Structure 1
């Protein structure tokens, strides 16, 4: 069955923007419509990034009504936002010069409302995915809380939020106007885009919307009086990292890597990015560092040995410690009961607690 353009336009006229009361076609939001062999794709181009960041339900509805048309095999709708009038396209902007040693970067923007009472913000980052960064961030946040600190945990990974699963929290946060109340899990305040959207849905968002979402999770959440806000960053060196470094005065960053060379190459890039924007590096953690046989106690360096320690030394950064590859860490994370919370006196939790002590010392020194 052939699908024609008019069928699609008629379907999209039924999708109403709740804020304006008009359909998305009349508003001119629909752009770039492509029809190919039953596969439909188009963009919803919203007036600005803030509007786009809260329009995921609108995107999902548009995708749904098109998918329901007989003959449509797939429907892909991408949210985007118009470039503000008078701004310079990214391609036309001059490249930023590398930061010189001792040279201070631009002053940070005024504090966002939600974090005005947060004493210190630290980023847990990695150059690539799959190195256990989120598991590390969650357990470090809990380890810092066990030291008597008032701790919050922000999941800044918009495309792949994992904190709700790792802390075993479900349900939607309370919202009063623009203020979002964090969800308490294991005694700490947590927030993630995963609490606000269907976890089974893909976040089809472009860069500016990611930055806007991170800003909202920082500024619109009622974090209250915190000693430390731990931010679980997405992997890489993209929009979320730049937004965070520009919007808030980061006290420092922690880089997580596994021992093998391919992971360490990306870890170096992550470290270099934070240094370029004048964020202090607290150090490097080697995750999945080794495996201890539960039967014989022999140590196996599955991914190599000493790579993160050597990288830290070569780059002039502190080596914060090793975290083993262990079933208890994996099982407790999958169950939403992090190992530091359920087995704080065990050897796996001790690895996180020792690293948390070093981070707390760095914060005290600052």
Structure 2
């Protein structure tokens, strides 16, 4: 950082203090902490000139950064005018920023000692049970409650998260680190952001494993409270890869009341026995259609969630809860098609309230270090 202002002029220092409250919209850290305030000068007539570095030339957040920088600078007394300019970082500056964000490590941050991020792998035995819709709404509900939430679309062949969140932008690339796009307060990463519309992803197991590994390690997620993974249906390569790459992930099994769907879901949940993953619970989706007269039609039958929870409980040797039941609601499908989760567009509807209740039950336990092994060093004097 440079300044042509005489050192006795404390307005430059005050401007830096003011800019410490301006956050990068993608990285969610102060510009001053990231080294993005390139220069601050104050002329004799009181004009403040601030230059800010943006990550790339086509930074989608450039206008917002300039506006918030100008607003923060203008709060400093004794200035007659504020001018803010931006320029793209050099390749060397981007590498320095990447190193700062990685904190010198190229590893999966959620596996580091002291990580407080809860990880939930949302799974189902078969397609068509609404797993992805449930994932999107749980994430948006958690974000609406003030949590920092990320979603990895681990359904490589059947990705759907960009559409469900209404995201058209690609991730911003800073050196070899990606900044995930955000919508409805949720950071989202999906292979669908890199594939032309209508093009299939024809990948086998090892390549899908690598993609999920990169989404976990080469994306700057920041300090998340919750990370959700939308898994493909079944017990294939991706489910095993997630268990290997993110061993602390807890499984959430989505089923419908239908007998055949719940039977398949039991097999998915039993995967946790082999991978030693904890099962957070079961979500019963499409649990009845409310008719205009207020009565409920059980289109897919009843009891599927309870059957799955009981079977999984016998498999793992302890009770597995039914986290909640979500009714069959056309508005839930409409929200997914429009890119606005129902918990955002109609948060007080019965279906949204059920989803919000499930989200809160998953994160009810306060985030903390209880039960975690922490590195300790004993120094004797």
TM-score bracket, normalised by the shorter chain, equals: 0.5 to 0.7
Quick check: 1:255–1:285 contact (8 Å CA) kept in 2?
yes
Of 290, 294, 298, which aligns to 1:297?
294
Alignment correspondent of 1:356: 359
Alignment correspondent of 1:128: 126
Quick check: 2:144–2:185 contact (8 Å CA) kept in 1?
no
Distance 1:158 1:314, change over 3 A: closer
3-state SS in 2 of match to 1:256:
strand
Alignment correspondent of 1:153: 151
How far apart, in 1, do the equivalents of 2:349 and 2:288 lie? 17
Distance 1:163 1:118, change over 3 A: farther
How far apart, in 2, do the equivalents of 1:258 and 1:359 lie? 19
How far apart, in 2, do the equivalents of 1:311 and 1:338 lie? 26
The 5-angstrom pairing of residues 217-228 of structure 1 reads 217-228=215-226
Alignment correspondent of 1:204: 202
How far apart, in 2, do the equivalents of 1:154 and 1:299 lie? 34
Alignment correspondent of 2:343: 340
Alignment correspondent of 2:7: none
How far apart, in 2, do the equivalents of 1:114 and 1:228 lie? 10
Alignment correspondent of 1:33: none
How far apart, in 1, do the equivalents of 2:107 and 2:261 lie? 34
Q: CA deviation at 1:111?
A: 5.0
Q: CA deviation at 1:245?
A: 0.7
Gaps of 5+ in 1: 1-109
Q: CA deviation at 1:310?
A: 2.6
3-state SS in 2 of match to 1:361:
coil
Report the more deviating stretch, 124-133 or 143-152.
143-152
Of 295, 304, 309, which aligns to 1:307?
304
Alignment correspondent of 1:112: 108
The 5-angstrom pairing of residues 23-172 of structure 1 reads 111-113=107-109, 119-172=117-170
Quick check: 2:143–2:184 contact (8 Å CA) kept in 1?
no
3-state SS in 2 of match to 1:259:
coil
Following TM superposition, where does structure 1 have runs of at least 4 consecutive aligned residues deviating by more than 2 angstroms? 113-118, 361-366
3-state SS in 2 of match to 1:334:
helix
How far apart, in 2, do the equivalents of 1:203 and 1:314 lie? 35
The answer to whether the aligner puts 1:279 opposite 2:305 as a matched pair is: no
Q: Which has the larger radius of gyration?
A: 2
Quick check: 1:137–1:230 contact (8 Å CA) kept in 2?
yes
Q: CA deviation at 1:249?
A: 2.8
Quick check: 1:320–1:355 contact (8 Å CA) kept in 2?
yes
How far apart, in 1, do the equivalents of 2:361 and 2:165 lie? 23
Output one character per residue of 1:10-34: Cα deviation in whole Å (capped at 9) or x when no partner. xxxxxxxxxxxxxxxxxxxxxxxxx
Q: CA deviation at 1:266?
A: 1.3
| TM-score normalised per structure 1 | 0.67
Output one character per residue of 1:43-94: Cα deviation in whole Å (capped at 9) or x when no partner. xxxxxxxxxxxxxxxxxxxxxxxxxxxxxxxxxxxxxxxxxxxxxxxxxxxx
Quick check: 2:255–2:304 contact (8 Å CA) kept in 1?
no
Gaps of 5+ in 2: 1-105, 314-319, 372-381
How far apart, in 2, do the equivalents of 1:251 and 1:160 lie? 21
3-state SS in 1 of match to 2:195:
coil
Pairs aligned (count): 256
| TM-score normalised per structure 2 | 0.64
Q: CA deviation at 1:113?
A: 4.5
Q: CA RMSD for the aligned pairs?
A: 1.8
Q: CA deviation at 1:362?
A: 5.1
3-state SS in 2 of match to 1:141:
helix
How far apart, in 2, do the equivalents of 1:212 and 1:330 lie? 31
Q: CA deviation at 1:198?
A: 1.3
Q: CA deviation at 1:214?
A: 1.0
Q: CA deviation at 1:118?
A: 5.9
Q: CA deviation at 1:180?
A: 0.9
How far apart, in 2, do the equivalents of 1:208 and 1:324 lie? 37
Quick check: 1:143–1:352 contact (8 Å CA) kept in 2?
yes
Quick check: 1:154–1:231 contact (8 Å CA) kept in 2?
yes
